[in-house]
């Protein structure tokens, strides 16, 4: 319960107590006054009646006596007027049933109103002729008590309502600094470092606000230092200082990670070799050589930014660059190579290259059956062939792509549209478990595939084409709908995680559709649904990723970010998105099980993410050595072949 509500309840309790005390005092005072007044009235009436009927009693004129009784009875609030005649031992009575109008029955039952009975002796001379008995009417007393209590209660209610309303406004005004402090504390918990701008004038609150602001500033600097350290270490180990691209070490790690995947699609591997870089360095100096390298790197980086966020680009050596483009067919690769060569040749026009001879390019298209060493050998052979043919030439090989490449782009589009229409994607799930002696399943990630001509194609074969055909959001909608149906039909113990493509949540219409879908789900079903997005897609459109994250948080649905650490980027986006967990790139898993100097990167990432209360999950856990090595780190869980294979849904 909030402090504001506690204070309001305290005020209401005190006000109610005051009302009860005042009403009690007022009630007893009013009741005593009414009883006293009724006693006085009945006694006066009894005395007056005894004197007025004494002569009639002496003459035994009982008709006149009765007339006097009627006159007295009708003139006051009496329930009974009775004269007892000693002479014949009879009573002359005038009475009426007490009727209490306008007073609730519960009030009558609750209040015990003592009705007074007045007596007076009728005498004539020294003789006592009888006695008068007058009983007051409780109706008058109840009526007056009810009116007094009701009016007092209404007055207190009106005054109390006005007081509470004004008090509420005043308290809200006084509590504004506390509300800001509460928001600030929640933001700190989420590692969003905000300051309270309006410092209150109240001395105690002012001191607290200023202390919180100082703490926020300190925490902000500490996190920025951690992120900067992680980024610096990453760049120091994996970044080429001249081109700004990944170095050979970075590329080798990414290649190992990519080729260790058990389900790969059609990939493009490109080698670019700049011509006469050594001559340029010797004759014009290292600055000209560096400009040549940087210009070529900019052309390549710009080109891949328009192709795929999953492309790996690195500088292998002085004049050599390499590109690994996942989910890319032969025709696309040839077109990219031609476009890159055209742009590189423009460096000669700008007098950046040494001569007309700018570069040679060798490329190869490979499928999942090709080993890493074979792929690099074939790409190198293509580059040698291009150099043999002369400067500014390129060569693109098609290496063992087989049946997978026999399907044309138009056929793939028809297959995908048909699969969307019939919701015929094949679904698998792979569990994510804790890394300890007794593993506990945290959640299960959903993978999709497509069957054609008796062969199952995993997502790597067609997801790139689906993005190009603008079918990504439709595929995601089908997968989400089928996963929801699966959750409803099964009693699941752990949630299922669905990966969302960048092209899906880049569309506001998709986020709106997903929000409406989640709105119509029961809480039990919604709790078994999670979502993931890749770091590459976040870096492409952080604003839309933020919109998706805010919507999922509003729906109380967990979400994570995949492939974290694969790109050279600052980690500040995590403070904006605040995912529930991150999956670090599988290259860090291999480094964690490698040299001690390389395992430090996993330790740094875990420390930084855990400081944000973000759980860390290792991916690509393929052997026992990696599993044992990962137990040294502060990881929430792991995913890979050794901890759980993908199973049919």
DSSP 8-state class, residue 556: T
Q: Do 144 and 288 fall within a single domain? A: no
Write down which residue in 161, 181, 199 finishes a domain: 161
Q: Do 562 and 479 fall within a single domain? A: yes
Q: How large is the C-alpha radius of gyration of the chain?
A: 46
Query: Looking at residue 402, what is its pLDDT?
Result: 41
Q: How far apart are CA 52 and CA 356, in angstroms?
A: 145
Q: Do 228 and 364 fall within a single domain? A: no
Q: How far apart are CA 85 and CA 92, in angstroms?
A: 8
Buried b (16+ CB within 10 A) or exposed e, 3-28: eeeeeeeebeeebeeebeeeeeeeee
Contact, 242 vs 316, CB < 8 A?
Answer: no
Domain count of the chain? Answer: 4
- pTM, entire model: 0.64
Question: Is residue 594 very low, low, confident or very high in pLDDT (cuts 50, 70, 90)?
Answer: confident
Structure tokens belonging to residue 409: 């782009």
Residue 174 lies in a domain: no
Q: Each residue of 108-120: pLDDT tens digit?
A: 778 777 888 899 9
Write down which residue in 238, 259, 278 finishes a domain: 238
Residue 177 lies in a domain: no
Contact, 320 vs 271, CB < 8 A?
Answer: yes
Q: Each residue of 62-110: pLDDT tens digit?
A: 889 899 999 888 887 788 899 998 888 889 898 887 777 788 888 877 8
> What CATH number is associated with residue 456?
3.20.20.450
Q: Do 393 and 413 fall within a single domain? A: no
Contact, 626 vs 592, CB < 8 A?
Answer: yes
Q: Each residue of 317-337: pLDDT tens digit?
A: 889 999 999 888 888 899 999
Write down which residue in 382, 404, 426 finishes a domain: 404
64 to 55, 128, 185: CA distances (angstroms) = 10, 18, 91
Q: Do 430 and 536 fall within a single domain? A: yes
Pairing of strands 78-85, 90-95: antiparallel
Mean pLDDT across the stretch 152-160? Answer: 85
Residues forming a β-bridge with 455: 452
DSSP 8-state class, residue 246: B
Domain span at residue 92 reads 3-161
631 to 442, 514, 640: CA distances (angstroms) = 16, 37, 15
Q: Do 452 and 576 fall within a single domain? A: yes
- Stretch among 9-13, 78-82, 343-347 having the lowest mean pLDDT: 9-13
pLDDT at residue 165 tops 80: yes
Mean pLDDT across the stretch 390-394? Answer: 92
Residue 178 lies in a domain: no
Residue 155 lies in a domain: yes
Question: Is residue 367 very low, low, confident or very high in pLDDT (cuts 50, 70, 90)?
Answer: confident
Q: Each residue of 530-583: pLDDT tens digit?
A: 999 998 888 888 899 999 999 999 999 999 999 888 776 667 788 788 899 999
Q: Do 101 and 119 fall within a single domain? A: yes
Residue 398 lies in a domain: yes
Q: Do 612 and 511 fall within a single domain? A: yes
Q: Among all chains, which residue has been given the structure tokens 């699966």?
A: 486
């Amino acid at each position: 319960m909030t402090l504001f509500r506690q204070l309001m309840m305290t005020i209401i309790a005190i006000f109610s107590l005051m009302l009860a005390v005042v009403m009690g005092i007022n009630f007893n005072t009013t009741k005593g006054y009414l009883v006293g007044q009724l006693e006085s009235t009945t006694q006066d009436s009894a005395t007056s009646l005894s004197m007025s009927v004494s002569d009639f009693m002496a003459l035994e004129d009982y008709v006149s006596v009765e007339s006097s009784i009627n006159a007295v009875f009708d003139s006051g609030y009496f329930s009974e007027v009775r004269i007892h005649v000693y002479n014949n031992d009879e009573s002359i009575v005038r009475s009426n049933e007490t009727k209490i109008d306008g007073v609730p029955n519960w009030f009558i039952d609750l209040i015990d109103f003592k009705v007074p009975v007045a007596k007076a002796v009728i005498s004539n001379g020294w003789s006592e002729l009888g006695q008068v008995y007058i009983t007051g009417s409780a109706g008058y007393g109840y009526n007056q008590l009810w009116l007094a209590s009701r009016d007092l209660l209404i007055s207190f209610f009106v005054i109390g309502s006005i007081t509470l309303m004004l008090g509420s406004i005043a308290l809200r005004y006084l509590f504004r600094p506390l509300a800001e402090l509460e928001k600030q504390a929640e933001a700190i918990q989420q590692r969003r470092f905000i300051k309270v701008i309006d410092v209150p004038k109240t001395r105690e609150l002012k001191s607290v606000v200023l202390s919180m602001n100082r703490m926020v500033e300190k925490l902000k600097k500490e996190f920025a230092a951690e992120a900067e350290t992680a980024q610096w270490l990453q760049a120091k180990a994996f970044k080429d200082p001249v081109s700004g691209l990944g170095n050979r070490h970075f590329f080798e790690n990414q290649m190992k990670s990519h080729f260790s995947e058990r389900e790969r699609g059609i990939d493009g591997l490109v080698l670019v070799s700049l011509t006469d870089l050594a001559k340029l360095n010797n004759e014009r100096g290292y600055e000209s050589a560096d400009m040549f390298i940087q210009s070529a790197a900019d052309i390549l980086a710009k080109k891949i930014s328009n192709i795929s966020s999953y492309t790996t680009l690195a500088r292998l050596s002085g004049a050599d660059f390499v590109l690994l483009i996942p989910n890319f067919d032969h025709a696309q690769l040839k077109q990219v190579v031609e476009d890159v060569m055209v742009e590189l040749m423009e460096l000669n026009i700008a007098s950046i290259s040494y001569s007309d001879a700018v570069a040679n390019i060798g490329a190869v298209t490979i499928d999942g059956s090709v080993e890493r060493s074979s792929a690099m050998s074939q790409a190198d052979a293509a580059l040698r062939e291009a150099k043999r043919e002369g400067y500014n030439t390129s060569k693109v090989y098609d290496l063992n792509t087989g049946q997978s490449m026999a399907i044309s782009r138009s056929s793939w589009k028809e297959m995908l549209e048909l699969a969307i229409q019939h919701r015929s994607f094949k679904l698998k799930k792979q569990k994510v478990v804790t890394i300890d002696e007794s593993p506990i399943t945290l959640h299960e990630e959903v993978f999709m595939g497509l069957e054609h001509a008796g062969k199952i194609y995993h997502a790597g074969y067609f997801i790139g084409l689906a993005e190009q055909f603008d079918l990504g959001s439709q595929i995601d909608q089908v997968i989400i709908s089928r996963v929801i149906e699966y959750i409803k039909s099964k009693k699941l113990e752990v949630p299922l995680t669905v990966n969302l493509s960048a092209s899906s949540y880049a569309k506001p219409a998709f986020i709106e559709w997903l929000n409406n879908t989640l709105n119509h789900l029961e809480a039990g079903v919604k709790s078994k649904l999670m979502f993931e997005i890749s770091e590459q897609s976040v870096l492409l459109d952080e604003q839309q990723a933020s919109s998706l994250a805010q919507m999922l948080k509003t729906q109380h649905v967990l979400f994570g970010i995949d492939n974290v650490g694969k790109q050279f980027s600052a980690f500040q986006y995590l403070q904006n998105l605040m995912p529930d967990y991150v999956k670090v790139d599988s290259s860090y898993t291999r480094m964690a099980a490698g040299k001690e100097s390389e395992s430090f990167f996993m330790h740094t990432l875990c420390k930084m993410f855990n400081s944000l209360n973000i759980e860390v999950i290792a991916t690509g856990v393929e052997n026992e050595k990696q599993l044992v090595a990962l137990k040294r780190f502060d990881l929430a869980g792991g995913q890979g072949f050794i901890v759980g294979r993908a199973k049919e849904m």
